[in-house]
Structure 1
Amino acid sequence: MQFLVTNFTQMLKAREPELLDREDGHWYETKFDKVYPSISTILSATAPEHKKNGLARWKENEPAHEYITKQAQDIGTQSHKMIEDYLSNSLAMDEFDLLPIAHFNNLKPFLENITNVTCIEQRMYSDKLKVAGTSDLIAEYNGELSIIDYKTKRKPQVDEYMYEYYLQTTCYAHMFEEVTGQKINQVVILVSSEKNTRQEFIKTCDAYVEPMMERVEKYYLNNLE
């Protein structure tokens, strides 16, 4: 996999914040002592009531919800690591469990569309929005510089279910532009399910900038000291 060694990579690494160990979500501390919540923490806190209620009902009705959640996190972590190692040309398949390997193989045709990697698992932040986060991948997808995210799910997804991810990845694009001055127009979400389906969701950032900013503003309005 070809890496695109640019000033972008160096600029991002020079400004990379530290992920803090906290129980109230993901938080990051910048080199200038600013502490910001992650965009995922903000989106979770400002999620529509029907989504929050649906998650609460699932936990009430599923006695094994903690086990299922932990298992899903482990599968996702291993799958992400496999993709990272593959993109870095250092993949050793014998280090991983069977289901993550299946997810990786399922997504591999989409991974062939990735070229000119700028960075993997890049921590970033925005002083303007007072938000931070970690992007799975910034690279060209079908020749266009993109924020790329990958998900492992139990079932196939529909576009409506992906909305929060579009907001999240659009926020990463905003952070990237704030640091580098380079606008990213495209976000890509790659999804593998346990039903052996693979899906590719490609969106234009501009459609999600305004609702993303509204959610960030709502979070800070609700958390005024």
Structure 2
Amino acid sequence: MFVKKFSHIAPPVSIEELKTVESDNGRFYLAPGKKNYPSVTTVCGYEKNEIFAAWRAKNPEEALRTQVRGNTLHEACENYLNNKPIGTLAPNEAMLFHNMKRGVDRIDNVRALEAPLWSHNLRLAGRVDCVAEFDGKLSIIDFKGSTRKKNPSKISNYFCQATAYSIMWKEMMGENIEQIVVLISSEDGANQIFVKNPMEYVPELKHMLDLYYKENAELLVEKQEESLF
């Protein structure tokens, strides 16, 4: 198997770790300035949260399996991009990584991996999978494992998540993100590579933010008050 050597470039501004808080209302991050912001995944998945929660409650074993699958795939990609051994993978995860590797090998000049990002303008925070060049263009890159091939029209939340990170990176680093990239490797053998312009998803991201803040105004006030102590 071809093993690529990835170059790494330090980001323009050092990234500090963020404290996280898990609650019944999702994950929150304590950003600089003692601001408690909801996570990107919490906000972008808010409209479908009840559907996903019901599915997890009905299918606890499968929910755990897919969570472990995702964590394992992310760790393998991170190790590979850090020029480290990916370790021994179970057959299913090994197949998923092998398929995804074709997209990962198009990455270089890595700026950040599993890094916390935030935006005071969006009032949002999260951990980005990867900020690097993809086919020579600075990109937000997300790694996804799936049971089956995805319909692009059903995963706009993936693109909105990556768009949020592109806005955060610009705010924190002063660098424009040229594109967002979502790599999806599926158990049915599908290998999907989506390359998008983040500007396309700004209106939908705004809709998600407006809805979340409208329905959680009191919660956000409480969180900000908690962060003062």
TM-score range, shorter chain: 0.7 to 0.9
CA–CA separation in structure 2 for the residues paired with 1:126 and 1:74 = 29
Looking at structure 2, the residues matched to 70 and 121 of structure 1 have their Cα atoms a distance apart, in angstroms, of 21
Which of 57, 75, 79 is the equivalent residue of 2:73?
79
Tell me the alpha carbon deviations over residues 167-200 of structure 1, each in whole angstroms, 9 at most, x when there is no partner: 0100000000000111112000001111111010
Matched, 1:152 2:145: yes
Take 2:202 and 2:86, find their aligned partners in 1: how far apart are those partners? 38
In structure 2, stretches of 5+ residues that fail to align are: 219-229
In 2, the alpha carbon distance for the partners of 1:93 and 1:33 equals 38
Is contact 1:3-1:118 (8 Å) kept?
A: no
Q: Which amino acid aligns with 2:7?
A: F
- Residues 200 and 122 of structure 1, relative CA distance in 2, 3 Å threshold: same
Q: Deviations over 1:52-93 (max 9, x none)?
A: 675467568xx5x11101100001100110010011111243
C-alpha distance in structure 2 between counterparts of 1:101 and 1:182, whole Å: 35
Assess, with a 3 A threshold, how the Cα gap between structure 1 residues 35 and 55 changes in structure 2: closer, same or farther: closer
Report if aligned partners of 1:17, 1:125 keep a CA contact under 8 Å in 2.
no
Change beyond 3 A, Cα 1:150–1:7 = closer
Does the aligned pair in 2 maintain the 1:12–1:124 contact within 8 Å?
A: no
- Residue 169 of structure 2 corresponds to residue 183 of structure 1: no
- Change in Cα spacing, 1:181 to 1:23, as seen in structure 2 (3 Å) is same
- What letter is aligned with 1:79? L
Offset of 1:42 from its aligned partner? Answer: 1.1
CA contact (8 A) 1:186 1:203 kept: yes
Of the three residues 1, 8, 11, the one matched with 1:4 is 8
- For residues 117-157 of structure 1, give each alpha carbon's deviation from its aligned partner in whole angstroms, at most 9, with x where no partner exists: 00100111101111001110000001100000011111101
TM-score normalised by length of structure 2: 0.86
- Among 61, 81, 88, the alignment partner of 1:67 is 61
Q: d(CA) in 1 for partners of 2:14 and 2:150?
A: 32
Aligned to 1:22: 23
SS in 1 for 2:32: coil
CA distance in 2, matches of 1:157, 1:85: 25
Alpha-carbon deviations, 1:23-66, whole Å to 9, x = none?
43111012321110001111222x2xxx5675467568xx5x11
Identity between Structure 1 and Structure 2 (%):
29
Superposition map of 1:75-224 within 5 A = 75-94=69-88, 96-224=89-217
- Contact 1:17/1:123, CA 8 A, preserved across alignment: yes
The alignment's C-alpha RMSD in Å is 1.9
State yes or no: 1:13 paired with 2:15: yes
Change (3 A) 1:78 1:132: same
Alignment length (residue pairs): 214
AA matched with 1:3: S
